[in-house]
Structure 1
Amino acid sequence: MSKRDSILKSAETLIRNEGSQQLTLDRVAEKAKVSKGGLLYHFPSKEELVAGLVARTIEYFDRDVDAAKATLPEGPGRNTQAFLLASLEGRWAADAGLSPDRLDIFASALAAASTDMKLMEPMRQAYARWQAVLDNDGLDPITATIVRLAVDGLWYTELFRLDDNVCTGERREQIMERLKRMCVPEDSTPAAKRGKQARKKR
């Protein structure tokens, strides 16, 4: 991990564990085990540190989306399912039971909102971009949006441990399977295809 990434990761950990009010350059330098001058070399101000958090979050989540998409077949709903998998089964999911990338989004958004709401603008643009992809994924746009909102809801429920019965075990698997099925257009499901074939034979 580069020194820059180490500093950002330390900032994220500090926010999650102690709150955004503790986000100061001195505390981050302490957590990252670098000198104040070393931190300032990469991030000359707190605003630039927060901007770095937001940019890194978006970059890493995009990577997870691309990695998930590469495992899925071409066709309608592919992008929506990739968003689902990146959000809830990202490559760091085994560390905490949910995707640390999404934890990074939480930390970055909290830091940006508490520092200067203008720093949230890249995050807003990223969400608008992700939503535009879902709107043009070959699914009903409302269905794709419902999947995205359900993903966000499950993630927040997991993050704040609001309901462990939903977030673990068989119930979570069932929710994931239902959301994955929603990412497939109805007329391309095996049952729908069998129904079409039966109607053709009549």
Structure 2
Amino acid sequence: MSKTKKEQIFDAAARTILEEGLSQLTLQQVAEHAHMTKAGLLYHFASKEELIQKMNEHAILCFRQQLKTYQETYKYEKAPYVHAYISATLHDLDHQNTTQLCTSMLATMSFDETLLNPWRDFYAEFKAKAAEEINDPALSHLIRLACDGIWFSEMFQLEPLNREEKTLLLHRILHLLEEGA
């Protein structure tokens, strides 16, 4: 499946951040990485702020789509939403979709903290849905923070786990979920 022009621009922005650093995240640099003119990029995004905002929205949308797919798969399991969250995290890591998610968050944090609001809303939604499925709030917090820890170790390259270690950790969390849900 080929990527849309906007998805190609998101990839170019992510490459800019990863290869050259946040300080080089300019519309000109992104345009060059996307093999287009700055005017062509401006056709899709009027500003760097809009580009970052749309990167976040796209990353959240992609993760939500994975959640939906896994919720259907696990609809007969205990805590299907939380189970889907764990599995979607593993899926995303397995398919190397973390680059856009991580770089969109990094760009947001350095540019304008209010652009994190969609992420805040997403986490509030997780907390509410997990509370419906799990009687132990500490377990739902443990699950979310373990998944986040995997993301953040990838994002900042702080001794990120290899694929086998990630899989082992997430399967252990699934086991805890089965015991505690």
1:23 Cα deviation after fit: 0.6
Establish whether residue 119 from structure 1 lines up as the match of residue 121 from structure 2.
no
In 2, Cα distance between equivalents of 1:30 and 1:48: 18
Match of 1:136 in 2: 132
Match of 2:4 in 1: 2
1:182 counterpart (171, 176, 181): 176
1:48 Cα deviation after fit: 0.6
SS of 2:133's equivalent?
coil
SS of 1:105's equivalent?
helix
Match of 1:156 in 2: 152
1:156 Cα deviation after fit: 3.0
Match of 1:199 in 2: none
Number of residues of Structure 1 aligned to a counterpart in Structure 2: 179
**TM score, norm. by length of structure 1:** 0.78
Please give the residue correspondences for 1:1-202 in structure 2 after superposition, counting only pairs within 5 Å. Answer: 1-90=3-92, 93-94=94-95, 99-100=96-97, 102-163=98-159, 167-169=162-164, 171-186=165-180
1:119 Cα deviation after fit: 1.3
Query: Match of 2:141, as an amino acid?
Result: T
In 1, Cα distance between equivalents of 2:49 and 2:75: 41
**TM score, norm. by length of structure 2:** 0.87
In 1, Cα distance between equivalents of 2:131 and 2:46: 39
Does the CA-based 8 Å contact 1:54-1:105 persist in structure 2? yes
> Cα 1:41–1:136, aligned 2, differ >3 Å: closer, same or farther?
same
> Cα 1:125–1:14, aligned 2, differ >3 Å: closer, same or farther?
same
Match of 1:192 in 2: none
Cα deviation code 1:95-128 (max 9, x no counterpart): xxxx42x332221111111111111111211121
SS of 1:44's equivalent?
coil
**Stretches of structure 2 lacking an aligned partner (at least 5 in a row):** none
| Backbone CA RMSD of aligned residues | 2.2
